[in-house]
Structure 1
């Protein structure tokens, strides 16, 4: 347990030393609030939308940045060649990946929860009273969890691919393509689009765009559980690859 604590502390030091990772994380945390202000200022909220959904309109791009944070945490080391130092300090590679996962998931959750809550409060204050309110709790807890899961998915993809640009492209495509390609599958659109982390996020935010035809009929929390499940499997595959490959 002490070794794992040291590994997490080591990962935190490395995290703070990478400016690209720090800045991407900060933008991820800040983005939802100005997004709520923009939606209110432009009066672009649809009549059948909710205050919660409108306030978190920019949560989807922020979710993609959360996935990019996960990629950078691991691929940045491969790019700079510091993985050799990391594995020398912590020989158990599974421990290294677990420490990264705890750091990414914990940090993103701790930042996303107050950020999305603040965005909702800002939207609630600025939007007209004519919109349905939505149920912010416990939905905001799930929204913050979705950010953590996206970060872990990015971490897993970054570990598997290792190349920063390739990993970022792959994880962003994984977030976007299901909803983009879903209409091409006709009646199966709800199944194709519904597997994306962005679909789970849209259901949790209770936006009017989260129709059963577009994002599937599975509920918000089961959708989040589904995304968490295949993200966990991807992390297990990443851990197996990390133990068998050269640094």
Structure 2
């Protein structure tokens, strides 16, 4: 007598053979074969440096800045030298190109952050580096160093050019110490002091870099290129314009607005201020700008870490 045929147990309704159930205790574990490391500030800085040096906006804005600073300096030197006028401080011609060149640095400071919001790249950036404060810190470090070095190099070139052309002028009948206290006379000819050299190179480089950093903070707050650039133009130009149209009786307010305006601050670093005497070195204006920039950067950090992209 043969044994009865053995049939498999029927499959559960709606599916194939029942799969064995694993509990979390015995479930197999899976992991990436690639090493996973947390993002560091150094990696964020390298990433931002790669981005800022490979985009066309950086090349164009810094090239425009160099052309304006050096080109206008050469144009200003020619008539001063032809007139043999020793009443202008030796290094002061570099100021006139920088008044326009600073606008290029400000524009780049805005674009460092707002261009990523415009293209949506900011989502990728914050995904790769979820700690948002680290992203803004990396951008600030890279941009500040780049703008400071570029501006300082350009202004050093203009200072050397101005020195080679305008130094050694004989004062003649000019009462330089009475009417033009910013002019330095050494051994009977025009010269430039050490503080003037410092202000016309490192000082103006630091001031313009801080303006660019302020533009980065404003761009982070507004997240819109045109709006942030317009706001920064107001910061640069509005105090001086308001001072011009203030009614009489507000002389103290007018003097403060002119003194701490960006054009006069740069002029003071060249020992060629719009108001007061040539002994002004621009240090108070530099400190004031550093304080304002720190406050706006703090607000930018708070906004970036608390709101959606």
Same fold, TM-score > 0.5, yes or no:
yes
More helix by share: 1
2:258–2:275 Cα contact (<8 Å) kept = no
CA shift, 1:197, in A, is 3.2
Q: Does 1:3 align with 2:40?
A: yes
CA RMSD of aligned residues (A): 2.3
**CA spacing shift, 1:65–1:113, aligned 2, 3 Å:** same
The 5 A counterparts of 1:115-154 are 115-127=154-166, 129-130=169-170, 132=183, 133-135=191-193, 136-139=196-199, 140-154=201-215
Distance 1:173 1:165 in 2: 12
Name 2:52's counterpart in structure 1.
15
Name 1:234's counterpart in structure 2.
296
Which consecutive unaligned segments of at least 5 residues does structure 1 have?
A: none
> SS where residue 212 of structure 1 aligns?
coil
Name 1:83's counterpart in structure 2.
122
- The one of the two structures with greater contact order (alpha-carbon pairs below 8 A, sep at least 6) is 1
Q: Does 1:195 align with 2:274?
A: no
TM-score (norm 1): 0.90
Of 248, 261, 274, 1:210 maps to: 274
CA shift, 1:228, in A, is 0.7
Q: Does 1:223 align with 2:285?
A: yes
Count of residues paired in the alignment: 243
Q: Does 1:157 align with 2:211?
A: no
CA shift, 1:146, in A, is 0.7
TM-score (norm 2): 0.73
Of 218, 224, 238, 1:177 maps to: 238
CA shift, 1:196, in A, is 2.8
The higher radius of gyration belongs to 2
CA shift, 1:28, in A, is 1.9
CA shift, 1:20, in A, is 1.7
Distance 2:239 2:170 in 1: 33
Distance 2:260 2:289 in 1: 7
